[in-house]
Structures are given as structure tokens and as C-alpha cells.
Amino acid sequence: MDGLDFQEINKSELENEFTIGAEYYGKKYVESVSVVKRQAKTIPLGQMWVLATDGDHGSPDYQESGVLYLLSECVKEGYIEKSKCRYITEAKNRELKRSCLHPRDIVVTKTGVYFGKSAVIPESIPEANTIAHVGKITLKPQYNPYYVSTFLNCKYGYYQLRRRGIKATRPEIKLVEFPDIIVPEFSKGLYSAIESTVQTANALYDEAGNVINQSEQMLMQILGIPQITDTAVSIKKFSDSFAKTGRLDSEYYHPKFDVLFDTLAKFPNMQLGGNDGIVDIKKSIEPGSEAYKDEGIPFVRVSDVSKYGITAPEIYLSYDVVENVDALYPKKDTILFSKDGSVGIAYKLERDEDIITSGALLHLTVRNTSEILPDYLTLVLNSTVVQMQAERDSNGAIIQHWKPSEIENVIVPVLDLEKQKELSEMIQKSFVLRRQSKQLLEYAKQAVEMAIEQGEDAALAWLKDKVE
């Protein structure tokens, strides 16, 4: 029958005691494993490690700074998205010693929408910890973590993870299923080439982050935003508080917000939205989980967006989710801005995108680019200037919600165009570095696949040509 994929498997051919469902033996999975097994030498992943465990099963109190704590969305293909990480105290990190992470440890997301992503903890992260949804693998000294992680990210590794992750509700792989994953072995020459490529990519990623940080620091210096503490208290008259704002929560009237607005008043400024605002604000849709598909239109949620870019989403929507689906696609220079969950994340699109964003992401379009540059506005939206306004309006709730009516009233300082251009150029530089980083990671993945399919020599020659 057309479109029917089936595979006949004898009982003696069943590979493990954990999964005997039909999906496990799907054609692409079986063929992928067969290709790997044709290699001259392979080794089960379980024979390569000295330790494999998962992360913390508790709910630690997050801090403003301290030891990095990786959530599943922090683990990308080949790198750690630090902007998505939380922090815990040094004491809590010592308490959670089983899930402590160190340079050259491999992390793998083992459940949920971020399933099957792998990266190596780089030297730039001397210590970290992680959540239960992330697996930790420490290899024996003779095995290269960069190669193994890249293999897990390529199709031959990912398919082995994915076939074990087929569950009734959401993808999930248990630690007990990791040891049987088959890894092809090659020479140290290929391992070194993969490691060098990934490390260069990680260095470019870090440099991109540094450039972003420098632009944010420059903005703060220009504006003269002082160091603002949470220790002060404020006493407000009724006429200056509830009668004016309709807010009774004390946090809204914290003196630090007065300091912020007094500082901004020294500069030309504009309201973000409204009739005379900087941008037009457009809402997207929230179709509900029942509309989620395995293929179709990429569905981008807040967790897929950072100030550095959009991660390829794991959820899709059908093309008939709405009558005029093209109208929902965001265009070049549209700023995606989060209003729910992690509020106040802004990312400017570098090109038109055939994606649908969740209702938690607003689409901002600058009305007059001769007055406000989109890159500059994105920088301001991600800065302390707007993050403090988000904090004030959302009242520090655990699950934050920032009302569009409040977002419209956000105050944005308008610097002269030359200064905006200078800051915008720094933003563009950071994105160039990020693209270079991701391209190198893709080359590393392709090289591993080529080594499996065409031989190590062909892979090394191809990779050398690409990275030099």
C-alpha cells in the first residue's frame, strides 16, 4: 500500500528488552543502524563512559548569579545557550554533586520538546549543574567527547536516540537505554578535526555574546543608568499610587523604578506603542497542543527564542491551521517580543520567515526606520532599561505575563542616529559571529556523517576544505 512503511522483524532480531513497539523498528531507524554497523569498528556507548547520570530531580531556588544551572532548553546542538541558563548558589551546587558538570562532560537532553540535543561543557564553563531532563556522560580518557557529542547530533546518532524516545505522549529516553547506542570508531585524526571545529565554533559563539554584552554596557554608559539596589522603600500618596495607576502591589512603587524613569527623562524618549509610538504591534495565535504536528509549519514558542536567535522548533502546525496562514509569517526586521513566561526577550529577524509564532510572542514593526533603527530598538528592549519596566509591570510573578497595553507604554530612549548606528553595527557583528559558529557546527556534523558513509579520508579532506 502506498505510504505504508513497515518492517518485518523476527523475535530473535529484537535489539533490547526496553522497546519492542513497531515505531522502534521503523525503516529509517533500522537502515540507519545498519549503516553504522557496516563500519569496521563500533563500540556501545556504555563501554565508553566512566559515569552516566541525569540531573537534579528537585526544584532549586534560582539566584541572580552563581553557578550555571542548565535547563533542557539550554542544551543546543554543539553548544550551551547561556542566556537560557539559571543560577544556583555554590552551596547548592556542592549539595547536588551527582549532577555537577565539568569541562568535557557530555550533556544530552532526554525528554520533552528539546529531546536529543547534545553538547560538550566547554572550558569557558568551569562548573555547572543541571536538571533531571538532561543526561550527563563522562567518558573514559581515551575517548573524545566532542566526537561522541557530534555523532549523537548527526542523523546516525539522533535516530538511535529518537527510536528509543518514542513514547505514548512525548519523547523520552531513560538512562538505562543509553548504553546500547552504537558509536562508530575512527582515528584520532578525525576526532581532533571534529574537536577543533566545535571548539572554534564555541569560541565564535562566546565572542558573539561578548560583543552583545559590550553593546549593552555601552548603552548603559551612554544613558548613565546607575547601579540600582532593591534595599530602599517607598512611601506614596494615594493620589500618586492607586488613584493614578490602579496598582496596589508595593513592588510597583519601588524607588528603583523612579530612579530609572528620572534617568530616562534626561534623554529624548518615545512610547513603544500606541498612536504616537515607535512600533506597530501585532499578535499571533495560540492554537493549543491538540494542533501540534510532527511536520508542517514550524511553530516557534518563547522557549525557542533568545536575543541571539531562533532555535529550530520541535513542534509544527498543519498548513490549514488558519484560513490565511501567510499573513502570520513574520517579515524581515520584525522584532519578536515575548509577553509571557520569560517576558521581555527581543529578537529581530534577519530575513522573512515561514514560521508561526505562539501568542506569547508579539510582532513589533518599526514605523519610521529613519528615526529608530530596528537593531538599536532590539538592543534597548533586551537591556536593563526595558527589563526593569517588565519587572515592574509583571510584578515578579513566577509565571510572568506582560499585558500588551502595558508593553505599549514602555518608555524607549531615542539616541541620535550616529550613536544608534554604532550600536547597531555591534549587534550585526555579533550575528555574523553566531552564523559562523552554527555553520562550523553543521560542518562537524556533516563530516561525521560523511565518515560513516564515504570513509574517514573523504570526510577529513572535505572538512579541511570547509574550515580553512
Handedness of CA 144, 146, 147, 153 (dihedral sign): positive
Distance CA 11, CA 95 (A): 46
Higher pLDDT, 427 or 26: 427
**For residue range 259-302, what is the model confidence (pLDDT) as tens digits?**
899 999 999 999 999 999 999 999 998 888 888 888 899 999 99
CATH number of the domain at 32-184, please?
3.90.220.20
Amino acid in the structure at residue 76 = K
Contact indicator for 195, 147 with CB cutoff of 8 Å: yes
Q: Which residues contact 127 (CB under 8 A, 6 or more apart)?
A: 67, 68, 93, 100, 101, 102
Spatial CA neighbour of 18 closest among 152, 137, 160: 160
The yes-or-no verdict on residue 232 having pLDDT over 80 is no
Confidence bin at 241 (pLDDT 50/70/90): very low
- Only one residue has cell 484560513, namely 323
Burial of 30 (0-12, 13-18, 19+ CB in 10 A): middle
CATH no. for 268-414: 3.90.220.20
Amino acid type, 235: I
How deeply is 320 buried, as exposed, middle or buried, from its count of CB atoms within 10 A (0-12, 13-18, 19+)? exposed
Give the tens place of pLDDT for each residue, 294-332. Answer: 889 999 999 889 888 888 787 899 888 888 889 999 999
Per DSSP, the three-state class of 371 is coil
Give CA separation, 162 vs 42, 119, 157, 376, in Å.
Answer: 19, 17, 9, 41
CATH 3.90.220.20 domain locations along the chain: 32-184, 268-414
pLDDT-based confidence at 217, cuts 50/70/90? very high
Q: Please report the pLDDT score of residue 246 as a whole number.
A: 44
Q: Write out pLDDT tens, residues 60-71.
A: 999 989 999 999
The pLDDT of 205-233, averaged and rounded, is: 83
pLDDT of residue 249: 52
Residue 168 has pLDDT above 60, yes or no: no
DSSP 256-298: HHHHHHHHHTTS-EEESSSTTSSEEEE--B---GGGEESSSEE
For residue 253, the model assigns a pLDDT of 61
pLDDT digits (tens, 9 = 90+) for 349-384: 999 999 999 999 999 999 999 999 999 999 999 999
Answering whether pTM is above 0.95, one says no
Q: What strand order describes the sheet that includes 134-139?
A: 49-54, 134-139, 106-109, 118-120
Number of H helices, E strands in the chain: 12, 23
Residues 121-131 have a mean pLDDT of: 95
Which position has the higher pLDDT, 127 or 84? 127
